[in-house]
């Protein structure tokens, strides 16, 4: 038998060459699951040699605890003569292994189920909070839009960017606090959940191996029932011992069927929990992926806000640039329109300190500034509107992203 494996049960028939032997025998070897990490080291290994014709049974059990010794002793005393059935001790081994696996499985599945509920609760709570924030923001926006229906697209864009910036600041502050407080706790829970998932998977495999053992024992039990009906010498027990096999065989088969149904139910429960854990993990992964995407969108809005500020600075330069171009530069050697030498704006014999053409300068500067502003604003607004429309269309494809349309 391997040292590291799930539960083991094997049998073989042995015919002794010594004429003084007790006749043909059946040897059973059983060993508890050694792959799963049980809280209690209560696994056993057992070897049984039974002589059906006599009947006599020799057995040895290794690794027995006090509770196991007490259980086996009480069962053998209560069964009395029927305890000589060859499958009696293997049946006790199966009962002990069933209790051992189901106790460990119940403990691990309860932890796994609790972890799944924690993940679902955290996701639903956060989603509900985000939905409430989105509803409040939409209500504020509707109130503001009803009061100011003639707001221009530029103002709307600035308000949207400012709102996104405030949301980004709040999310950043809250995320930083939550990260500092819960990162270590979350990592510990994730590590424990991973170990728990692996443990449940191992226990599930152990239960399936035990079901295979039950099938093998059911086959052995049916074979005893068939052999008890035979009368050929050397192939059946003596007539006085047939009652031991016929009566116990039916009870063994019924008990094996009950345990098989119970263990199959536990396997289905494990499949449901493992599938639920995988789905919850995928949902959590998708949730954090969406949050990262939203954070990136908020960062993009903040970058847009910064670019708008730089654009405002460039607008200020654009306002003063035409006037500077038209200005009369007295202290510089640069020649602009009003400082060219072939214009004699004030004759030498004039005593005027202010040129009579100052109004021409102001009017020309104003007209040129307005034209420059209008053309540049029209071009920039057209690009902003196209980008804004495309961005809204992308966000509307996902209901969770509606928070950014405020």
| pLDDT at residue 47 greater than cutoff 70 | yes
Predicted local confidence at residue 157, as pLDDT: 46
Q: Which residue has the higher pLDDT, 195 or 258?
A: 258
Name residues whose C-beta falls within 8 Å of residue 37's C-beta, 6 or more positions apart in sequence: 199, 202
Residue count of the chain, please give it.
Answer: 406
99 in Cβ contact with 106 (< 8 Å): no
Predicted local confidence at residue 402, as pLDDT: 46
pLDDT band at residue 368 under the 50/70/90 scheme: confident
pLDDT band at residue 360 under the 50/70/90 scheme: confident
Q: Residue 302 is encoded by which pair of tokens? A: 């903040």
357-380: average pLDDT: 77
| pLDDT at residue 240 greater than cutoff 80 | no
Q: Which residue has the higher pLDDT, 318 or 28?
A: 28
Predicted local confidence at residue 352, as pLDDT: 59
pLDDT band at residue 342 under the 50/70/90 scheme: very low
Predicted local confidence at residue 349, as pLDDT: 62
| pLDDT at residue 116 greater than cutoff 90 | no
3-state helix, strand, coil in the chain (%, to 5): 70, 5, 20
365 in Cβ contact with 378 (< 8 Å): no
């Amino acid at each position: 038998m391997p040292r590291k494996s799930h539960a083991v049960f094997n049998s073989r028939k042995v015919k002794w060459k010594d004429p003084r032997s007790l006749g043909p025998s059946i040897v059973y070897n059983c060993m508890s699951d050694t792959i799963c990490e049980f809280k209690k080291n209560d696994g056993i290994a057992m070897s049984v040699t039974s002589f059906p014709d006599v009947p006599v049974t020799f057995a040895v059990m290794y690794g027995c605890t006090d509770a196991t010794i007490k259980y086996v002793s009480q069962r053998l005393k209560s069964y009395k003569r029927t305890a000589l059935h060859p499958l009696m001790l293997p049946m006790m081994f199966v009962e002990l292994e069933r209790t051992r696996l189901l106790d460990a499985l119940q403990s691990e599945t309860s932890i796994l189920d609790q972890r799944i509920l924690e993940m679902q609760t955290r996701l639903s709570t956060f989603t509900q909070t985000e939905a409430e924030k989105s509803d409040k923001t939409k209500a504020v926006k509707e109130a503001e839009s009803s009061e100011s229906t003639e707001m221009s697209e530029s103002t709307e864009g600035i308000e949207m960017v400012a709102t996104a910036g405030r949301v980004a600041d709040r999310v950043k502050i809250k995320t930083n606090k939550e990260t500092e407080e819960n990162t270590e706790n979350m990592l510990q829970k994730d590590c424990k959940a991973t170990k728990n998932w692996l443990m449940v998977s191992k226990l599930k495999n152990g239960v399936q191996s035990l079901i295979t053992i039950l099938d093998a024992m059911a086959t052995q039990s049916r074979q005893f029932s068939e052999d008890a009906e035979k009368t050929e010498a050397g192939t059946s027990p003596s007539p006085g011992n047939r009652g031991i096999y016929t009566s116990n065989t039916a009870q063994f088969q019924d008990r094996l069927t009950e345990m098989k149904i119970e263990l199959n139910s536990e396997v289905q429960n494990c499949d449901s929990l493992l599938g639920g854990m995988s789905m919850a993990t995928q949902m959590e992964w998708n949730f954090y992926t969406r949050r990262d995407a939203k954070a990136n969108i908020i960062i993009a809005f903040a970058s847009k806000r910064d670019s708008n500020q730089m654009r405002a600075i460039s607008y200020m330069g654009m306002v003063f640039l035409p006037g500077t171009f038209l200005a009369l530069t007295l202290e510089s050697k640069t020649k602009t329109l009003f400082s060219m030498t072939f214009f004699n704006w004030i004759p030498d014999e004039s005593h005027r300190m202010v040129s009579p053409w100052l109004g021409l300068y102001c009017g020309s500067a104003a007209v040129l500034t307005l034209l420059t502003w209008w053309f540049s604003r029209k071009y920039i607004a057209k690009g902003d509107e196209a980008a804004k429309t495309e961005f809204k269309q992308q966000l509307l494809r996902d209901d969770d992203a509606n928070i950014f349309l405020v």
